[in-house]
Amino acid sequence: MSGRIFRQRKRGRPDGEQGRSPPLREHSQAAVRALSDPLSRAGLRSGETTYERERDAERALSLLEAKMVTGDWTDPQRSKVKLGDYAAKWISERTELRPRTVEIYSGLLQRHVAPYFGNVALGKINTEMVREWRAALASNGVGAVLTVAQVFQLADLVPVRLRALILLATFASLRWGEVAALRRMDLDLNAGTVSVRQQHVELDTGELLVGPPKSRAGLRTVAIPEAIIPALRQHLDQFTESEPTALVFTGANGGILRRSNFRRAVKWSEITRKLGVPGLHVHDLRHTGNTIAASAGASLRDLMARMGHDSVRAAMIYQHRMAEADHKIADVMNGKITQVLPAEASGH
């Protein structure tokens, strides 16, 4: 390590050895371990302390190694890097990220992280600061979780042709790009399921890409709570063309529904203020659905499969077992919905 660990040189050396550095075998065991440690060769630093006694060096190195093992050690130099610089570099170096993901991460950094932590050194960030930051975001409606009743209130505030989108995006935990890309053949209302096979990706340049979901786990079939199926049937009858490949949700003139057009069409800022959650984002509908599903008692694996997230092992391994468990999740969600709805309100 760059920190120096020496043992005191023995006195009374034979003639001719007084001016030489002690051979490796005469270094303390601590120094040998420090020099041979691959973490040391990688450039990790422990300071510039020099120890005159071997046992002090041993003790210091043992404490340092213990911190490394427990994850409590912080590189003093790297901890001085500001979070804004670190995060921007982290995003730029992730070459595997899709263009839209880069835009999303960069936007979140610019809007929500950099204003609070951008100029703060990594080593200065503590739990209390993060809690204060999270509370400030929550007070502005960022990352809000709606109640079931609020979801239906929101659905009733949008134009009727988009009411089912609010319900499906929430209670099936769909991403915007997934719900916008749904086709008639992706909905099996007799079985009570929606299959996610593709997604729309909108870049900041305005370019629209159509492709598979963002991960293998994104290809999935999700159970739908029974209480919202009447609303979905009504939507298909009134607003969706009869062809199997017809988009379920479209713009006012029948074209592809873009996020920006959706926000304008429903007057998103206005209706979310009316609902009491002015900072609500469209993505928070999915966040709400995930939270409700988790409260229904879903296991971590089943929840990740429903959400379309990869686990350490591919979520597809658990797909067969998930099908039955996912219907149970939908049944519990259905019970929560019917508790706050009049008997026929779910069909509007």
Tens digit of each residue's pLDDT (9 = 90 or more) over 276-286: 998 898 999 99
| CB of 28 closer than 8 Å to CB of 59 | no
- In the predicted model, is pLDDT for residue 15 greater than 50? no
Higher per-residue confidence, 180 vs 38: 180
Give residue 165's pLDDT.
98
Please name every residue paired with 194 in a beta bridge, in sequence order, or none if there are none. 187, 222
Tens digit of each residue's pLDDT (9 = 90 or more) over 267-303: 999 999 999 998 898 999 998 988 888 777 777 778 7
Give residue 56's pLDDT.
80
Tens digit of each residue's pLDDT (9 = 90 or more) over 38-86: 444 333 334 456 777 778 888 888 887 787 777 766 666 777 889 999 9
> How far is the C-alpha of 342 from the C-alpha of 109, rounded, in Å?
42
| CB of 5 closer than 8 Å to CB of 31 | yes
> How far is the C-alpha of 23 from the C-alpha of 101, rounded, in Å?
55
- In the predicted model, is pLDDT for residue 112 greater than 50? yes
High-pLDDT (> 90) share of the chain, %: 35
- In the predicted model, is pLDDT for residue 229 greater than 70? yes
Higher per-residue confidence, 38 vs 202: 202
Please tell me whether residue 280 adopts helix, strand or coil conformation: coil
Give residue 347's pLDDT.
55
Q: Measured at the alpha carbon of residue 227, what is the angle toward residues 166 and 180, in degrees to the nearest 5?
A: 30
Place of tokens 């999740």: 329
Tens digit of each residue's pLDDT (9 = 90 or more) over 115-154: 989 899 888 888 888 888 888 887 776 777 899 999 999 9
> How far is the C-alpha of 220 from the C-alpha of 345, rounded, in Å?
29
Give residue 195's pLDDT.
97
- Sequence-distant (6+) residues with CB within 8 A of 75 are 44, 45
